[in-house]
Every structure is written in C-alpha cells, then in structure tokens.
Amino acid sequence: MRKRLLTMLVLGAAVCAQAGVLTFTSEPLFQSQGVIVHNTNWDSLVGGGFSYPGDPYAIGGVTYTSANNLIAIPPSYGTARPVLLNNYWSPLPGTISTSPDVFDMFGFNIGLLGSTSLVDIQLDTNLGSYSFLGLSFPNVNTALAFQGFITDNPAEYFTGFTLTSQSGSGHAPAITDVQLGQSGAAIPEPSTLAFVACGVLGLALYRRRASWT
C-alpha cells in the first residue's frame, strides 16, 4: 500500500512540474521573483550612429548569433535608447550561458524597429522549447515594452531564444535591459507550491481509488 501511495504522489507531482513558463509584463514584478545576475544595456553609447559589436556577440551571459549584430544609437532610427537588433532585420537569435551558472529568469525591454509587426518568441530550455506567437510590441520610436519569463520547474533553465518578426524584413525586434536571474531568492518558487499541491492531489486520488475497492 505504501509503495502504491508513493507512486501516486510522484506521478501527481511530475505532471504539475511540467507546467512550463510563467510570463511577466511588469519589470518590477519580474525582478521581485528572484535575483537578477545580469542586466545588460548599451546606454553608455551616445552620439548617434551604429555599433557593430561582432558576430557572434557575447555579453551579460547571452551570446547573440544573428547574421549581423547591430546596436542602434539614438537618434539613429528614432530610438530613445540604444537597442540591439539584427542588421538584416529578423530573426534575432541567441544562446544563454549555462556555465558556471544556470538561469531560470530571462527578460528584456523590446520594441519594433520599422513598421508595426507581430513578434514570435521561441524559448529553449534544457528540457524543451516554448513558443509565444503573435505578440504585439510598440515601435521603438514611441516606447519599449517589458517581457519576462520564468520557468515553472525547479529543474528547468533557459538555454536560448529567438525573436522573429512575422512580417519578415523591414521589421526588426530590438532589445535592451536584457536580464538573466535565478528565482526563489526573494519569495518561494511557484513551482514548489505546485509540487505540494499536486502531491496532495495524488493522495486524494489514491484515497478515492481505495474507497472503490
């Protein structure tokens, strides 16, 4: 009986541990979920024009792997702040460092350079990939919007990402304030509560099944 009970508890917890990725559109709320280890921007670049940091380009725990990484410096392209983009518009891919630390928090401020276009975001982790399709962000000429993600599984961490304009060339996702962090330092991880809840659910299911026999 104890063996069967343990099996039910483990199965119930395992299902809920695969809940996926939590999304945040509030930067302060995102940052409150843990410790931000890297927060990268290019605000020190002034005077207009463009900077070509290299291909690939590694900074702040992220390696950007677009065809031609470009930093647009205000007032170029009408941006209010320096932003990183693919000089060939789209996509903007990158890998996230997994050594010596891993990160279950990933966020950035994003805008669209060029005409308005919906954006698809793919996130890669050590356990799989997640797609967020058709997201709407402002033009960099007017504002930037925050987008953050936290894995909902204590064993899962980010390994990469791809930001793609649905409209293709002429529409470039552009980012700054690229943040990597580790959750659970400020408040209990939501996945921990989910694990306990699923264990209780497994116990309830076992008891209900036992009552039928």
At the top level of CATH, the class of 21-186 is mainly beta
The number of residues in the chain equals: 213
Q: According to the model, what pLDDT value does residue 169 have? A: 77
Q: According to the model, what pLDDT value does residue 101 have? A: 96
| Below-70 pLDDT ranges, the chain | 1-19, 185-213
In the chain, what are the domain boundaries?
Answer: 21-186
Whole-model pTM: value is: 0.78
Q: According to the model, what pLDDT value does residue 11 have? A: 41
